[in-house]
Amino acid sequence: MSVSVLGSGAFGTSLAISLTGNGSVTLWSRDQDQAQHMQTARENTQRLPGVALPTDITVTSNIDQATEADVLLMAVPMQKLRDALLEHASALAGKTLVACCKGIELSSGLGPISVIQQTVPDARPALLTGPSFADDIASGLPTALTLACADNTLGRTLQEDLTTANLRLYRTSDVIGAELGGALKNVIAIGCGAAIGAGLGDSARAALMTRGFAEMQRFALMRGARPDTLMGLSGLGDLVLTCSSELSRNYRFGLSLGRNIQFDTHTTVEGVATARAMTEIATAEGLDMPISTTVADLSSGAYSVTEAIQTLLNRPLKEE
């Protein structure tokens, strides 16, 4: 099985590095100059500096060359996925497309699998998600991920072919649960970062994680997910990681809100758009999502951290 990774950000590059343990990999960058530099320098100096690219990685900006592979890993941000798919729809037609992004599309309220199905109807979609930082994967450190695919036969094949020496994949057919676990935890991570940044302490973070996880489950069940999926790697596992480490962009963004300092505007923070999309859907469905709604307001600047805290603390008391 041949593999290409479409998207040369930190995560896409790290996946390509890990997958070379199974054979040659093509890494596609839309930027021709960046692709040439990476191919020559054998390093992604912009997104993953200090990590050497194995000789088994071929970096290219030629989409036709990249899409010759049997399996294409779509390592692009969630809010840019649709445009990338539409731009290269003819080259992607009929291919196995594995989304490697986490979020809910703001314009449609859909997850990555549904976006693939809408834009490339004859593609065979799957999703790779779970607790994973690019630096850890690129360094060969171990983690376990969820491979979600509604087609059980394809899912088993992908599980076997994409498992590497440091990436252990667990399979599920619940693509909705896997999509939402990976997306919604980013929202809670922003809230936890804001709590720590504001000096509220670890106890407050634990409370936000716990009550936030309850919201994640509530929302996912409403959308048709299986309850056990959120208890796995794509839900609870990813939540624990992103709410407790500054390697998480969403958590770092929350820290900047709590500390009232500027955040790097060039850094993708998927949880911001997801919080907005999640809040709009929850409101339309009459679903109570106080933490997620507060994070959306905080991220947009509608609330200060102090106002956000008071909003949550002043809610009516209730049973757990």
Catalytic machinery residues: 185
What contacts 28, CB < 8 A, 6 or more positions away?
4, 5, 6, 7, 8, 35, 59, 60, 61, 62, 63, 65, 66
If one counts every other C-beta atom within 10 angstroms of the C-beta of residue 94, the result is 9
Between helix 175-197 and helix 290-300 the angle, nearest 10°, is 60
Which residue type is seen at 140?
G
What contacts 266, CB < 8 A, 6 or more positions away?
none
Which residue type is seen at 1?
M
Give the β-pairing of 48-52 and 43-44.
antiparallel
Residues 13, 82 contacting (CB under 8 angstroms): no
Report H helices in 112-201.
112-119, 134-138, 152-162, 175-197
Q: Enter the tokens of residue 12.
A: 């896409």
Residues 219, 262 contacting (CB under 8 angstroms): no
Give 94's DSSP letter. T
- Alpha-carbon span 17 to 53, nearest angstrom: 7
What torsion do the CA atoms of 299, 302, 306, 311 make, to the nearest 10 degrees?
A: -100
Q: Enter the tokens of residue 248.
A: 């998480």
